[in-house]
Structure 1
Amino acid sequence: MNFKNIACSFLCYFIGVLAVSAQNEDIFGISDKAKSPKSESGLGNVARNVLEMFSLELSGGGAYQQFNTSFYSANPGLYPFTRVQNLEGDPLDISEENPLEMKGGDWVFPNWNGGVRINLFNLLTIGGGFGQEWGNLSPMRGGDYQFDFEGASYQVDKLYGTVGLVLYDANRRRSFLNWRYRHYSSSNYYMQSELRQRARQNYPWRFILEAEFGTLNLKKTYDASLDQGPEPYQSRLAVSDKNYYGLGLRIERDFSDYTKVFVKGGADFRSFTYAASDFSEFQELNQQVYAMQVGLAVRFPGTKRCKIAGCGVVMKHMHNGVEYRGSGIFNFQDRKIGQWY
């Protein structure tokens, strides 16, 4: 038997295994999509299935940011670096090997993000978008000394991408229930009935571990000492590495097949520089932003709304072999008893 025959045999076996497995669990939604075409043409059906993977989202919230640095300079007078309240004490003793650790923080409000997200087989999510944040710059302190930023606030634009891993959702809940009831015999009708009832329950929650990466653009910093108001000036604060990364946990709650709200908490890690007054040297600054956001996401409906006169079906249904939905995107499409609203 040559390699071509072996490959053909293996391919036939693999397709057969998938067909048998799909009878028990439709992992990728292939059977559902095949049984319920969303368009009269094959190309249109594929396009609508792909469209249904995309969603638009908008979120906003606040954060707490911290700047920290290992300060050392042979000329500290070139920086807004002073002793706290001009207290008398030991002279400053720092070196490259023994810098002064300084830290400070303040609130970031508001910050908002808007973007697009793709759901891949209810296992991974990929997204991207644009965001802005406005933050305050409080002094950093270390020992008896403090570092006063000359700008009182800053504004950052960011372009970002995200990759998320779905940790728990309705599908994983059903798998977990099957695992919990695995010791009960199939002839134990009471426990099997209980399993089926629990597995059919609507579970609207989804937990996603999400990594974020992107680029920053420090758009504006303001000099608090200007009498005429917040006029822009040549900032001594700059982004040293425009790339940043973050990690967060996203909790989603479905309100319909196509709409959901979510809460996302996480931390971003960034790098900045602060220039001396004559721009002859720089201090490296690290920033951590601990953010919390609340948002709304709307998925594109791949199934067209039924417009046939006299058809009062509110669930998903068929006309001439094509699937239609009978309700708006803010309603569940396959509602159960008690959900008819």
Structure 2
Amino acid sequence: MALTRTFRKPYVVATLVLVLLAAMPDAFAQYETEQEASVPLEYFYIKRQGTGLFRRILSKVTFGLSTGYGATTFKHELDGFGILQNPDSMPKIFQGDNAAQGYSNWFNKIQPQGNTLQPGGYQVNSDTAEIGFKSKSFNIPIRATLHVELFERYRIGGGYSFEYTSVGDFRPLRYSDRIGNYSPEVTSFFLKKYFVLLGASVYRYNDYLLVVDANIGGYAMGKKFDKSQMKKGVYVNLGVTVEREMSEYFRLFVRPSYEIKSYKLNVPETGQSIQHRFNAFYVNVGATYRIPELRRCFLKTCHAQMNHAHGNREYRSRRHPIYKKQNPHYGENYPTLIKYKGKNKKKLNPY
């Protein structure tokens, strides 16, 4: 009688029903293959086969490609040297007080050339003034990167940049009324850079993501520069990237950045060198693509708009492109009807 009274209580019966329902999926989940399923409903509870290790690792990799514009400032100071400016000619430099031994090129390689102070000429030495030259130039970069995201925040990777660099005339830092512009023999060159990428996402607003990162690496300036007399260091590029998520795998971004780099050009027989700084400001625009972990659905007639299974394998939808925002857990691929587009939008009754 006590047991009968217990089952008459509604909350006891409800509890037992919930326990039985909770246990049912566990029972069905024991099926490892389709052959073990005996009725169609049991296909829903077949243990799904996950993606392979190689594809899971590959899905963590993000590729990026961008281009843009860069403004470079070449600047050098001539400590330990002097400038000789003759009428109707480009300036030359000389070492110390030896004005007779000059150099006509000191940007990409050293070219010795004799000096003679002509009537109406001007001569100044670094002992009495800060002298040097400065040039405004521009870059057109093509930049490729590869990185992995750790803990959905930190980024580590590397990249390569190939840049067309235009070199303008050098203007004197002082005495521009007496010293003319210096035109190097190199008017343009291709700058190659290779770097390590380190970054972290710091802020998110809806589909927008703010990332700070640094590129640290080396560079090569091409055959027009005398590498035997050059001494280069690493360069550092600090940037802020604003990313717009277009889909689960595809993003557009804009990245302003500032870059610090320099090289020294040794002057033979003097024991001195001239340091050239060419810091730059860049604005890159581009896109990134992450390899999906799930394979694309093999069934051409499948209209599923979310991650789904066929048998014991899981697939991603084939109905939405990589450039369109799509939640992987439910469909969002609903196009705007023609009756709501263009001039039809102004109609009170689109029908």
Same topology, TM > 0.5: yes
Number of equivalent positions: 253
- The equivalent position to 1:209 in structure 2, one of 195, 209, 212, is 212
- The equivalent position to 1:50 in structure 2, one of 47, 57, 71, is 57
Instruction: Work out the CA distance in 2 between the residues paired with 1:238 and 1:91.
Output: 27
Tell me, yes or no, if the aligned pair for 1:112 and 1:132 is still in contact at 8 Å. Answer: yes
Classify 1:331/1:321 alpha carbon distance in 2 versus 1 (closer, same or farther; 3 Å): farther
Instruction: Work out the CA distance in 1 between the residues paired with 2:81 and 2:317.
Output: 73
Deviation at 1:102, TM superposition (A): 3.5
Tell me, what secondary structure is at the counterpart of 2:234?
strand
Tell me, what secondary structure is at the counterpart of 1:219?
coil
1:128 is the counterpart of 2:119: no
Instruction: Give the 5 Å matches for 1:125-164.
Output: 125-138=155-168, 139-144=170-175, 145=179, 146-164=181-199
Classify 1:154/1:282 alpha carbon distance in 2 versus 1 (closer, same or farther; 3 Å): farther
1:40 is the counterpart of 2:49: yes
Letter in 2 for 1:47: F
Tell me, what secondary structure is at the counterpart of 2:165?
strand
Is the deviation greater in 270-279 or in 256-265?
270-279
Q: How big is each residue's C-alpha offset from its partner over 1:243-270, in whole Å with a ceiling of 9 and x where there is no partner?
A: 2111011111111111111111101111
Structure possessing the higher relative contact order (Cα contacts under 8 Å, 6 or more residues apart): 1
CA RMSD in angstroms comes to 3.3
Letter in 1 for 2:241: R
Q: Where does residue 334 of structure 2 map in the other structure?
A: 340
Tell me, yes or no, if the aligned pair for 1:59 and 1:294 is still in contact at 8 Å. Answer: yes
Letter in 2 for 1:94: S
Q: Where does residue 254 of structure 2 map in the other structure?
A: 263
Q: Where does residue 263 of structure 2 map in the other structure?
A: 272
Task: Point out 4+ residue stretches in structure 1 off by more than 6 angstroms.
Answer: 86-90, 277-280, 335-338
Letter in 1 for 2:186: G
Instruction: Give the 5 Å matches for 1:56-205.
Output: 56-74=63-81, 76-77=93-94, 78-80=102-104, 91-95=123-127, 99-108=130-139, 110-138=140-168, 139-144=170-175, 145=179, 146-169=181-204, 173=205, 203-205=206-208
Classify 1:219/1:283 alpha carbon distance in 2 versus 1 (closer, same or farther; 3 Å): same
Instruction: Work out the CA distance in 1 between the residues paired with 2:256 and 2:228.
Output: 27
Tell me, what secondary structure is at the counterpart of 1:286?
strand
Classify 1:148/1:279 alpha carbon distance in 2 versus 1 (closer, same or farther; 3 Å): farther
Larger Rg: 2
Tell me, yes or no, if the aligned pair for 1:80 and 1:147 is still in contact at 8 Å. Answer: no
Tell me, what secondary structure is at the counterpart of 2:49?
coil
Instruction: Work out the CA distance in 1 between the residues paired with 2:78 and 2:228.
Output: 15
Tell me, yes or no, if the aligned pair for 1:124 and 1:164 is still in contact at 8 Å. Answer: yes
Tell me, what secondary structure is at the counterpart of 1:79?
strand
Letter in 1 for 2:237: G
Deviation at 1:168, TM superposition (A): 1.0
Could you list the runs of 5+ residues in structure 1 that have no partner in the other structure?
1-37, 174-202, 222-233
Letter in 1 for 2:209: R
Aligned residues: percent identity? 20
Instruction: Work out the CA distance in 2 between the residues paired with 1:275 and 1:294.
Output: 37
Tell me, yes or no, if the aligned pair for 1:156 and 1:218 is still in contact at 8 Å. Answer: yes
Q: Where does residue 330 of structure 1 map in the other structure?
A: 323
Letter in 2 for 1:252: E
Q: Where does residue 28 of structure 2 map in the other structure?
A: none
Deviation at 1:276, TM superposition (A): 4.7
Tell me, what secondary structure is at the counterpart of 1:47?
helix
Instruction: Give the 5 Å matches for 1:229-268.
Output: 235=226, 240-268=231-259
Tell me, yes or no, if the aligned pair for 2:230 and 2:266 is still in contact at 8 Å. Answer: no
Q: Where does residue 339 of structure 2 map in the other structure?
A: none
Tell me, yes or no, if the aligned pair for 1:236 and 1:275 is still in contact at 8 Å. Answer: no
Instruction: Work out the CA distance in 2 between the residues paired with 1:278 and 1:133.
Output: 34
Deviation at 1:322, TM superposition (A): 4.0
Q: How big is each residue's C-alpha offset from its partner over 1:193-234, in whole Å with a ceiling of 9 and x where there is no partner?
A: xxxxxxxxxx2111111111111011143xxxxxxxxxxxx6
Deviation at 1:329, TM superposition (A): 2.8
Letter in 2 for 1:205: Y
Classify 1:166/1:318 alpha carbon distance in 2 versus 1 (closer, same or farther; 3 Å): same
1:317 is the counterpart of 2:326: no
Tell me, what secondary structure is at the counterpart of 2:57?
helix
Tell me, what secondary structure is at the counterpart of 1:151?
coil
Letter in 2 for 1:247: L
